[in-house]
Amino acid sequence: MGGSETAGDLNSVSPTFENAHNDLDKQLEYSVSMLEDLAEVTEGRIRPGSMSRTLTTSQPAQSQPSRLPHLLEVSSRRTYLLDRVYEILPVRQTLQHLIRRYIDGGIHRGWHASSKQNHVPTYLSIRTLQVLHIPSFLKECESFSLLEPDTRKVETDPAWIAVLAHAVRDLSNDENRSLFPSYSSEDIMQLPLAFYQASMMALEVGKCDVVPQIRHIQHFGSGPEDSNACRRLLSSGILTAEWLGLDQLASDPLKAPLNDPAFSNASPRVAFEMSKRLYHFQAFMDGTAWRKPGQWCLAQATTGALATELPQNLNDEDLLDVSQVERPSIEFTHSTVPRVGSLMGIQVRKYMQACQHGGEMTYPQVLQFDAAMRRVLDQLPSPLIASLSREGLNCIHNRLLRAHRRFMMRGYSDDGYQESTLRSIECAKSVVAGQRILTPWPALRPWFSKAWILRAALVLTVDWAVSIDRAHPAELVASKRLYVSEVLDLFIESQAQDNRPDMSAQCARIIEALLNAGDQRAALRPLKPSCDGASPQAKEIQIFFDGVSASLLLDGASPQNTGGEVPDLSIFNWFQSNNSGTSEQSDEMSFNFSMIDAWDGGYNAPIE
C-alpha cells in the first residue's frame, strides 16, 4: 500500500516542478559538455589571418635535428609546402595580368557561376566549372598583392593559385614568353600544371581534407585516365556540402553557413545565394558525371521537401545591392549555369533510372525524355546560344542525341519513328555548331567533347549515306557531305594548342575515311538501281561502315603508314544498345563501326 502511495505521489508532480528540474538538467549538461570540449584539441576552420597558428604550432624540443626530409617530417611539412608554393608566384604586375586574363578569357566566360570561395575557384569536374565571386575575388587579390612576401604567408590563403594555372593555359606561347622571360620554353609548357600542383599543396596546408569548409575541388586533366580522380573529387565536394548543410537550405537564408571562412566578409544575402549556386553546381555534376545508375549522391536531396531552392537569377554585382530584385529568367546571368544545370541533372537521373536494371528506354520513354529536356532548353536565355557557355547547350543536345540514336534508322522507313531521325540530325548539327565557337580556343575544348563531335559526325554520315542510296538531288547530297567535312575542320585546326592532339588526329583520320568512302559510294551510285522512296538496304549500309573500319585498320598496318599507330576503333563504341548496366564512361568512350545493328535493329533487321 505504501509503495502504491509513493508511486502516486511521484506521478502527481506538478508541471512547474518538472520544468524546473528539466532546466537544471540542461544547465548541468551544458556545464559538463563545456569541460569535455576543453579536453578536445580543435583548431577550428582556417580563416584569413590564422595561417600563422597552423605554421607556428609548438613542437616538443628535439635533442638533435630530424634526419627526415622536410617533405616527410610532420612538423615542417606544411611550412615546406607553403615555401614551395610561394617560390612559383609571379611578380605583382604579372599576377594582376593573369588574373584579368582569366576573368576576361574563354575559360571563365565559358562556364561561370559565382561564389566567394575563400580566395579560390571551384573546379567540380572534368568540365571547367568555376564558382567565383568576382568583386570579392578582385578585392582580395589586390590586398594580397600589396602585402610583403613574408606577410602573405601568414595573412592569405593562397589556394586561388589555380586561377593562374588556367590563365596561363589560355595564353598564346608568345604572350607567355613575354610574361615569363626567364623561363625556358619547356618550363612555360609545364607552368599550368605547376600552378595547379602549387594550389593543391596550398589546400593541404589549409587542412581542407579534415576541416569541413567551403574550399575548392578542382580537376586539371585532359584525358579519360583522369576521370576516376575527377569523380573522387566530386564525391568529396558533395560530402563537404552535406556536412555544411548546403543540401538542405530550402528557402531559409539563416541556414547558410554564415560562419564559414569563405563568407567572413560577406553579407547573409551573398552567403545564401553563393551557397545555393555551389550546391546546384554540384547537383548538376552529380546528375551528369559518369557513374552507374543509382549511384547519385544528391538524387533525393535535390527533390526532397528540404531541398535547397534554385539560386536567384542574379549577377555578381547584384548581390552587393540590397535593392536589386531577381532578373527575368530569359536574361543570362552568373546564376544561369547552376540553375539550368541542376534542372538538367534531375532529368538525366530520371532517364538513367529507367535503364537501371539492364533495360533500355522504350520509344515512348525517349519521347518523354526529349520533352523534359526541351523544357530545360526553354530555360536557357537566348544570349547563351551565341556565347562560349554554349558548352552547356551542347551537353543537353548530346544527351538527346544519345537517347534518339537507337531509333534514328527506323525513321527513314517508318513515319512513327521519324521524330528520332529528325532529332538525331538536329542535335548533331547543334553540337558541331556549338563546338565551332571554341575554335579560337582549342585548349578549352574538353577531351570528352571530342567524343560528342565524333558521335555527331557519325549521325551526319549516316544521313549522308542514306541520301546517296536514295538518289537525292546532287545539291542535297552535297550539303549533307558539307556537314561532315565541317566536323573534320574542327579536328585539324589549331592542333598546336590542342590539349589532346593524339585523340584529335585519330578522330580526323576516322572522318577522312568516312568522307572518302562516302565519295566513292556517291560515284558508284549511278551504276546501281535507285531506292528512292523505298527503305534503304541495311546490309549495304552496314557494309559501308565495315569497309571504313577495315580500311583504317589496313592503313594502320601498312608499311607505308608513317603515322605509326593503328587507329584504336574500340575506344569509341557508342552505339551498343546493351550498355545500361555499365557506367556511362564505357558508353562514352567506345566505338564500333558495326553500329547499324546496334541501333535497335537497324533498318529492317529483326529485333532480338
- At residue 192, the pLDDT reads 84
Q: Are both 281 and 392 inside the same structural domain?
A: no
Q: Are both 409 and 513 inside the same structural domain?
A: yes
Q: Are both 151 and 262 inside the same structural domain?
A: yes
Confirm whether 38 is domain-assigned. no
Question: Taking 60 as the threshold, does the pLDDT of residue 238 lie above it?
Answer: yes
Residue 604 binned pLDDT confidence (cut-offs 50, 70, 90)? very low
Q: Are both 139 and 254 inside the same structural domain?
A: yes
Quick check: helix, strand or coil at residue 523? helix
pTM of the complete model beyond 0.75? no
Q: Are both 272 and 385 inside the same structural domain?
A: no
The domain boundary residue, chosen from 222, 257, 288: 288
- At residue 215, the pLDDT reads 67
Q: How many domains does the chain have?
A: 2
Question: Taking 70 as the threshold, does the pLDDT of residue 557 lie above it?
Answer: no
Residue 544, burial from CB neighbour count under 10 angstroms (0-12, 13-18, 19+): buried
Q: What is the pLDDT of residues 438-479, one digit of tens each?
A: 777 666 677 778 888 999 999 999 999 999 988 899 999 999
Nearest C-alpha neighbor of 334 from the set 351, 311, 307: 311
Question: Taking 60 as the threshold, does the pLDDT of residue 120 lie above it?
Answer: no
Bridge partner residues of 112 (DSSP): 130
Q: Are both 477 and 579 inside the same structural domain?
A: yes
**HSE (side-chain half, CA atoms, 13 Å) at 600:** 19
Confirm whether 479 is domain-assigned. yes
- Residues, the chain, total? 608
- At residue 384, the pLDDT reads 54
Q: How far apart are CA 395 and CA 288, in angstroms?
A: 9
Nearest C-alpha neighbor of 311 from the set 274, 269, 262: 274
Per the prediction, the chain carries an average pLDDT of 72
Q: What is the pLDDT of residues 383-413, one digit of tens each?
A: 555 454 556 678 889 889 988 988 988 888 8
Flag the least confident range among 55-59, 290-294, 465-469. Answer: 55-59
- At residue 145, the pLDDT reads 78
Question: Taking 90 as the threshold, does the pLDDT of residue 427 lie above it?
Answer: yes
The domain boundary residue, chosen from 288, 307, 338: 288
Confirm whether 486 is domain-assigned. yes
Nearest C-alpha neighbor of 247 from the set 319, 315, 326, 300: 300
Confirm whether 484 is domain-assigned. yes
Confirm whether 6 is domain-assigned. no
The DSSP letter of residue 261 is G
Q: Are both 401 and 530 inside the same structural domain?
A: yes
Confirm whether 442 is domain-assigned. yes
The DSSP letter of residue 121 is -
Q: Are both 119 and 255 inside the same structural domain?
A: yes
Question: Taking 90 as the threshold, does the pLDDT of residue 368 lie above it?
Answer: yes
- At residue 608, the pLDDT reads 27
Q: Are both 423 and 562 inside the same structural domain?
A: yes
Confirm whether 231 is domain-assigned. yes
Nearest C-alpha neighbor of 245 from the set 266, 264, 259, 231: 259
Confirm whether 340 is domain-assigned. no
Sign for the pseudo-dihedral over CA of 435, 312, 295, 235: positive
Domain that holds residue 201: 74-288
Q: Are both 279 and 415 inside the same structural domain?
A: no
Which residue is it, cell 568583386?
Answer: 135
